[in-house]
Structure 1
Amino acid sequence: MKTRIITLLALVTFLSAPIKAQTPIYLDDSQPIEARVKDALNRMTLEEKVALCHAQSKFSSAGVPRLGIPELWMSDGPHGVRQEIQWNSWGSAGWANDSCTAFPALTCLAATWDPEMSAIYGKAIGEEARYRKKDVILGPGVNIYRTPLNGRNFEYMGEDPYLASIMVVPYIQEVQKNGVAACVKHYALNNQELWRGHINVELSDRALHEIYLPAFKASVLKGGTWSIMGAYNKYKDVHCCHNDLLLNKILKEDWAFDGCVITDWGGAHNTREAALNGLDIEMGSYTNGLTSESEFTYNDYYLAHPYLKGLKDGTFPMSTIDDKASRILRMIFRTVMDRNRPWGAFTSEAHYDAARTIAEEGIVLLKNAPVTKKAPALLPIDASQYNKILVVGENATRSLTKGGGSSELKVKKEVSPLEALQAMYGDKIIHAQGYESGRPMYSNTDKIPAEVVESLRNEAIEKAKEADLIIYIGGLNKNHLQDCEAADRITYGLPFGQDELIKDILSVNPNMVMVLMSGNAVEMPWVKQVPAIIQGWYPGSEAGNAIANVLSGKVNPSGKLPFSFPVKLTDNGAHAFDALSYPGDSIKQVYKEDILVGYRWHDTKKIPALYPFGHGLSYTTFAYGKATLSAKTMDSNGKVEVVIPVTNTGTREGKEVIQLYIGDEKCSVIRPAKELKHFSKISLKPGETKEVKFTISVDDLKFYDDSRGEWTAEPGKFNVYIGASSTDIRSILSFVLQ
């Protein structure tokens, strides 16, 4: 009995003793992320792992509530944080505090040719996403501008893989400093909207690696992006959102990507492929990514119960779910479970300043000629010379942040060009709308009554007769079949009768400054008659102020085109062949221009562009001095330095983008006449000279040898072209690779 009493007392003492709590490693953010991922993974059930892999609402995926691991919240980008969407509907949640800053469209950012602007952009949009408690911002976009008809080109960074590769990296890095994952999209070959959900893209391995993958590769290897969004289309007959070659082989093996692959909304189509081919998070299934709803629940997704069943019965190896869950946990620990991430900011003056500065740096002066030989150029506008300035065009007042698809924004502030010009020039400004486009909608366009069209046109023409200067602010907008997701443009010319309107106005008054608002090149049948043309893009919240500052000369334009403007559509490489090249036969399309995209096509085929890649004028002038090479030969491990003195020979402070292209004089394969390999944007005061230095390495000389599956440079002579655009070449040098 005594022994039993002692034993009982010992047990009571043991049970009543305080138990030392052990904090799980995954909650301790002082621990390495990989240790935290492993610890959390070991504590999770199979069901909890699978739950991470698919949506739980329109824009969120599950965490692990039992372990205190929070869910992930995503938001559309890439030009601003989208308004809050309902849990299980595409309708607005009706919040009053989700009106964001609209930053310029990414075509405008690319047109700055300035990585510093990209960093400013990424920092600001990252702060807005963080303030709105978003963990993933769905952007930036880096699909290559292949055709000017692509409805989504305005979300991308132009036609050149090197330019896009340089510009995307600071955006990603600065976004992620806020503890928000960038999600680079749309990987890969989503270069048109027509039939995007099923079109199978056929192209050479060279074109894939030289043109369409470099910006994604830079996003991973240099930007360190934490997530990537798959594309809707197919490649090698497999949807890109679960494509073994793109996701497993290239992205995760060759590039060692350690982040998450997220579907575009509705981009998954098959449980087996989704399980095995590299997809990590499935969003938006059983919808078309835009409007249609479904009776299926989130647990019916391909990576939900069907995947769980396949794991349990051995159809899919457990290694697949452990890899997916590890990647998702890694992103959670980098974002929502990072206790040190900043709080962010929303619609601040600093963000408006950023939006305006980026827009000003990206606006491109395409043409600036006098109306007559003895007259000065129309720009910058000297207000003292004019009593009455007529502003014509719907885009002078229309909100260009609405419409366009998933990049549509609910903005707190948007300054229209008309407002800004009225503030700058007062009662000298009069206005005529000139044309009507209809509402910004996805699925239809409005038929404008003929009497309305005629009335608006007649008003503009009559007012033009009395005006001293006309500022035409037109172009495209975010309507369906224009710069808009889910459909491509139908025609290359301006819509809504603008070409005829412009012609009629010029017939009564030639003193016109054209401001084109678009994310795409357009046909310009009136180009010889219009003295001054500015490409204004979609500049965001500070649109009007940026445009007014450039028109007035308060800001000297310094933007350069990130894509070519063909004279006519068939001058573009994608449209130079039959319909199988563009738009395809609805099942497949073949990239028949191969590596000759954009200026590569124009220069190599000797088909002049209306406005070439890299083109952009200034209100001052720049003289390029004699360029020099540090050596006439290079070995496979060597480098050659190029030095170019550049002088501001005008009377205004300004910025110039010095561009370096390289051409391989003789090669065993077809190569473009020249390819952009370096650029530098510099600021110069009047009379000031700066030396610009570039270092050429053997990597700048390589092409992708698809017969060997590797990058190579063949010995021989290489030409170095220094220019202000792809056609405005100021110096040509050469060296030999030994």
Structure 2
Amino acid sequence: MKYKELIEKMTLEEKASLMSGKDFWQSKDIERLGISSMFLADGPHGIRKQAAAANHPGLNVGIPATCFPTAATVANSWNEELGEKIGEYLGEEAIAQKVNVLLGPGVNMKRNPLCGRNFEYFSEDPYLAGKMAAGYIRGIQSHGISACVKHFCANNQEERRMSIDTIVDERALREIYLTAFEIAVREGKTKAMMSSYNRLNGTYTNENMHLMQDILRGEWGYKGCVITDWGGSNDRVTGLLAGNELEMPSTAGESDQEIIKAIKSGRVKEEVLDECVDRLLDLIFTTEKAYHRPHTEFDVEKHHRVAQKVAEEAIVLLKNEDNILPLKFGKKVAVIGDFAKDARYQGAGSSLVNPTILDHTLNCFEESGIVSIGYEQGFERYGKKNEKRIEKACELAKNADVVLLYIGLDEVTEAEGLDRQSMRIPENQIELLNALYEVNQNIVAILSCGSAVEMPWIDKVKGLLHGYLGGQAGARSILRILSGDVNPSGKLAETYPIRYEDTPSFHNFPGGEASVEYRESIYIGYRYYDTANVDVLFPFGYGLSYTTFEYSDIEVNKYGVTFKLTNSGSVAGMEIAQLYVHSKSTDIFRPKKELKGFVKIFINAGETKTVTIPFDDKTFRYFNVKTNKWEIEGTEYEIMIGASSADIRLIDTIFIEGTGAPVPYDKELLPSYYLGKASNVSAEEFENLIGHTVPISQWDRTKPLGYNDTIEQCQYAKGWVARLAFHLIVFAYWFLKKIGKRSSANIIMMSIYHLPFRGIAKMTGGAVNMPMVDGILMIANGHFFKGLSHLLRERNNMIKSRKQKKL
């Protein structure tokens, strides 16, 4: 142990105290031993440190910070170095705000387009997500502070996220849902990891010994800290045994007492606690050193310009019929759409940043050189229909050469704690587009949203520019693409299906009441669409440019692939070349192609460059469930170089020696997986894959409610008070939405409706303890007077106990 001498000076109570938060955002300190508290802040794309007291759950406005493009946006740049640069600037701002641990990046897979938090995640592909995350981490930690990669793991939906049980086969877990975390640990060398709320195959993630010990600590050799998601601790002692150092937020010392009791009873050896303390101390002391160096406030203007550069490189040109873009000099444009006036630039929830500067389209026209003849709102932001706005927009559009139509999803549609209800953009925006098409067919749509949407209207636009959520400088960045000052170079980090029903997880999202089954296994995103030959709207890796690129002269050897890339157009630009690999063997089911490398390269018009993409330890591997380790099939592999997953330009083959592992599957029992048609797998076939029966996915309504049951389950509680409370919560949600307070309605759904009863104690900073929760559960289970008496008695006991400690 690194801090053995210091730990030997601590009492058992002091050691246990370090294992939970001091308040909502800080770890505990021990003044007599020179151990300071750490400040942890949200920050996947900008520092969210609120000016209010640290015991507040983070609903206040944060201190101004640069709002960079979200992870979903930056992933479209396919530029690891750019990710590292963002990390460096995030780290610099964290230092300025005295933050030790930055809670990000998020590397969960985009299993389904409707996940409400997809805007915070990089990709449907674990290799791309992992590489981008590693860049962020290196940048953040270059300042001495810590990144905290989240949410570990298989947290791919927001509905019932604190109680849902994710049922996934071991191979899909390793190849799809853990690979990005593995890259973050091994290449990014993250100092901290955040465990997710959900169960994984029956066990809460931060208590899961297979996940936390066998894989994270054992296989990956992780030496850093594991921090719970806020309120995500279930059994504190079981979590400690699994190697979970820090429970957040504060429980006012209640869980510390559970640890002390477990050690005194012999359930836990004190050496286990010492190891956890040692790892936490290392995080405290190494991040504290960052504040011993002289530092100044960050340069607001400079960081804003960096945010603009990032957005410019991440914007994706999806359609450019008749070369309508870039806009020709002197063309008169009509600017239409509410998002042109008030930019949609970030998501909602814990990642909400208070920007230092905020560009809006209407304020940036003069410098862009684009001639605007006027602006009309066109539609109500939150979906209300308004015929007069459409009429005014059409009158303006009649007089324009080109219509710039700003459409997308609003702030409360994509939010933490809630999944989207559909893949469509609001109907009132589509009605506006249809009306505009009748008067002017030269329409360029500028799309603002953080995740994939359906586009049945795409034939009515000549140009489509997807800005995703471009941060505080996104509006200006889009204008620079439209004007031709910048050549677009972004490519999609996720597939856009034609219809939501085409997605491989359609039949199994968001799952049942108690569990969600990942029956599609390894076939998510393009892995499914390409293998099952399902047509898509825009494939993974797709994006247009104002120039063209030619690929030639492929050469493959055991170290990697080399080829030539020529800018065959008339404009300098950047191209993202992608390496995909396919095993020619049919012994083990595998996708038609898998991303195994990529490079982004700038090439002047007419120039040719030689490009090399090396192979690495992930190029040919697969996880063998029979040997329980990574293996390589001895066979021929197709090496494909493409401009997207559907646009393969060069192909060669190479034979790779295998590890000689036995075939892990019986092909006869898994026909859907061997055919790649895994969108609607039967329960029987899925059970053949996972090797056991699937758990019942419905709640047991005959049992009394317990700690891990949710407030939502009060609808069938025996106690009338609980049922009444449920209906009041539902009414409050409906009423707030009705009067336009959608953000407040979302908070009810996120913070109350899906909250497990234990969360009442875990998320209230000690205002309610677990014995008081026992009283609440008695009331919910039909014992009103007994429960109320217990609740009041335990509250008095808690108050008396705290008064005695102060004395």
> TM-score, normalised to structure 2's length?
0.79
- Tell me what 1:535 maps to: 466
Consecutive unaligned residues in structure 1, runs of 5 or more: 1-33, 286-296, 371-376, 439-446, 631-638
Contact 2:573 2:604 in 1 (8 A): yes
- Tell me what 1:381 maps to: 327
The Cα shift of 1:235 comes to 0.3
Contact 1:640 1:695 in 2 (8 A): yes
Contact 1:647 1:684 in 2 (8 A): yes
1:489 paired residue among 420, 433, 444: 420
Superposed CA deviations along residues 306-327 of structure 1, whole A, max 9, x for unmatched, are: 2222223333221221121111
- Tell me what 1:475 maps to: 408
Superposed CA deviations along residues 593-625 of structure 1, whole A, max 9, x for unmatched, are: 110110001100000211000001100111112
Matched, 1:701 2:655: no
- Tell me what 1:395 maps to: 339
* 1:293-692 → structure 2 map (5 Å cutoff): 297-300=251-254, 302=255, 304-338=256-290, 341=293, 343=295, 345-370=297-322, 377-384=323-330, 386-387=331-332, 389-400=333-344, 404-425=348-369, 428-438=372-382, 448=384, 450=385, 453-479=386-412, 482-495=413-426, 497-575=428-506, 578=507, 581-630=508-557, 639-692=558-611
Superposed CA deviations along residues 104-140 of structure 1, whole A, max 9, x for unmatched, are: 0001111111111011100000100111000000000
Residues 80, 339 of structure 1: CA spacing in aligned structure 2 closer, same or farther, 3 A cutoff? closer
Residues 546, 342 of structure 1: CA spacing in aligned structure 2 closer, same or farther, 3 A cutoff? farther
Instruction: Give the Cα separation in 2 of the matches to 1:344 and 1:174.
Output: 18
Please state whether the residue corresponding to 2:92 is helix, strand or coil.
helix
The Cα shift of 1:91 comes to 5.6
Instruction: Give the Cα separation in 2 of the matches to 1:555 and 1:155.
Output: 25
The Cα shift of 1:350 comes to 2.5
Please state whether the residue corresponding to 2:317 is helix, strand or coil.
strand
Which amino acid is 2:28 matched to?
Answer: A
Instruction: Give the Cα separation in 1 of the matches to 2:424 and 2:487.
Output: 29
The Cα shift of 1:160 comes to 0.6
Instruction: Give the Cα separation in 2 of the matches to 1:586 and 1:406.
Output: 25
Contact 1:100 1:347 in 2 (8 A): no
Contact 1:280 1:324 in 2 (8 A): yes
Contact 1:271 1:307 in 2 (8 A): yes
Superposed CA deviations along residues 261-305 of structure 1, whole A, max 9, x for unmatched, are: 1111111112332232221111137xxxxxxxxxxx5222x3x22
**CA-based RMSD:** 1.8
Q: How many residues align?
A: 656
- Tell me what 1:27 maps to: none
Which amino acid is 2:278 matched to?
Answer: S
Instruction: Give the Cα separation in 1 of the matches to 2:105 and 2:498.
Output: 29
Contact 1:86 1:92 in 2 (8 A): no
Please state whether the residue corresponding to 1:430 is helix, strand or coil.
strand
Contact 1:158 1:563 in 2 (8 A): yes
Which amino acid is 1:583 matched to?
Answer: P
Contact 2:567 2:608 in 1 (8 A): yes
The Cα shift of 1:462 comes to 2.4
* 1:152-171 → structure 2 map (5 Å cutoff): 152-171=117-136
The Cα shift of 1:504 comes to 1.7
Contact 1:220 1:257 in 2 (8 A): yes
Consecutive unaligned residues in structure 2, runs of 5 or more: 658-807
Superposed CA deviations along residues 547-588 of structure 1, whole A, max 9, x for unmatched, are: 11111110100011000000001211111xx3xx11101211
Contact 1:499 1:525 in 2 (8 A): no
* 1:213-362 → structure 2 map (5 Å cutoff): 213-284=178-249, 297-300=251-254, 302=255, 304-338=256-290, 341=293, 343=295, 345-362=297-314
Which amino acid is 2:94 matched to?
Answer: A
Residues 94, 733 of structure 1: CA spacing in aligned structure 2 closer, same or farther, 3 A cutoff? closer
Instruction: Give the Cα separation in 1 of the matches to 2:542 and 2:243.
Output: 40
The Cα shift of 1:99 comes to 0.7
Q: Which stretch has the larger CA shift, 361-370 or 426-435? A: 426-435
Aligned residues: percent identity? Answer: 37
The Cα shift of 1:724 comes to 0.3
Superposed CA deviations along residues 210-238 of structure 1, whole A, max 9, x for unmatched, are: 01101101111111101000111110211
Residues 467, 401 of structure 1: CA spacing in aligned structure 2 closer, same or farther, 3 A cutoff? closer
The Cα shift of 1:459 comes to 2.0
The Cα shift of 1:43 comes to 1.7
1:145 paired residue among 95, 110, 114: 110
Contact 2:98 2:291 in 1 (8 A): no
Residues 133, 64 of structure 1: CA spacing in aligned structure 2 closer, same or farther, 3 A cutoff? same
Contact 2:4 2:278 in 1 (8 A): yes
Residues 397, 308 of structure 1: CA spacing in aligned structure 2 closer, same or farther, 3 A cutoff? farther
Superposed CA deviations along residues 351-398 of structure 1, whole A, max 9, x for unmatched, are: 11221111111101111111xxxxxx11011231x23x1111222122
Residues 546, 154 of structure 1: CA spacing in aligned structure 2 closer, same or farther, 3 A cutoff? same
Please state whether the residue corresponding to 2:460 is helix, strand or coil.
coil
Instruction: Give the Cα separation in 2 of the matches to 1:485 and 1:94.
Output: 17
* 1:64-79 → structure 2 map (5 Å cutoff): 64-79=30-45
Instruction: Give the Cα separation in 2 of the matches to 1:549 and 1:706.
Output: 50
Contact 1:178 1:342 in 2 (8 A): no
Matched, 1:110 2:75: yes
Contact 2:143 2:290 in 1 (8 A): no
Instruction: Give the Cα separation in 1 of the matches to 2:346 and 2:633.
Output: 50
Superposed CA deviations along residues 311-352 of structure 1, whole A, max 9, x for unmatched, are: 233332212211211111010111014565562643533311
1:179 paired residue among 137, 144, 169: 144
Instruction: Give the Cα separation in 2 of the matches to 1:226 and 1:51.
Output: 21
Instruction: Give the Cα separation in 2 of the matches to 1:168 and 1:117.
Output: 11
Instruction: Give the Cα separation in 2 of the matches to 1:609 and 1:596.
Output: 15
The Cα shift of 1:39 comes to 2.5
1:42 paired residue among 8, 17, 25: 8
Contact 2:313 2:488 in 1 (8 A): yes
Please state whether the residue corresponding to 1:547 is helix, strand or coil.
helix
Please state whether the residue corresponding to 2:451 is helix, strand or coil.
coil
4+ residue segments displaced more than 4 Å: 91-95, 338-342
- Tell me what 2:763 maps to: none
Residues 496, 660 of structure 1: CA spacing in aligned structure 2 closer, same or farther, 3 A cutoff? same
The Cα shift of 1:494 comes to 0.3
Please state whether the residue corresponding to 1:724 is helix, strand or coil.
strand
Instruction: Give the Cα separation in 1 of the matches to 2:582 and 2:347.
Output: 41
Please state whether the residue corresponding to 1:707 is helix, strand or coil.
coil
Instruction: Give the Cα separation in 2 of the matches to 1:117 and 1:698.
Output: 24
Instruction: Give the Cα separation in 2 of the matches to 1:661 and 1:94.
Output: 44
Which amino acid is 1:282 matched to?
Answer: E
> TM-score, normalised to structure 1's length?
0.86
- Tell me what 1:86 maps to: 53
Residues 344, 273 of structure 1: CA spacing in aligned structure 2 closer, same or farther, 3 A cutoff? farther
Instruction: Give the Cα separation in 2 of the matches to 1:341 and 1:38.
Output: 26
Contact 1:401 1:411 in 2 (8 A): no
Superposed CA deviations along residues 468-522 of structure 1, whole A, max 9, x for unmatched, are: 211111111321xx22100000011102522222122112211111111111010
Instruction: Give the Cα separation in 2 of the matches to 1:316 and 1:110.
Output: 43
The Cα shift of 1:590 comes to 0.8
Instruction: Give the Cα separation in 2 of the matches to 1:491 and 1:309.
Output: 49
Instruction: Give the Cα separation in 2 of the matches to 1:457 and 1:55.
Output: 52
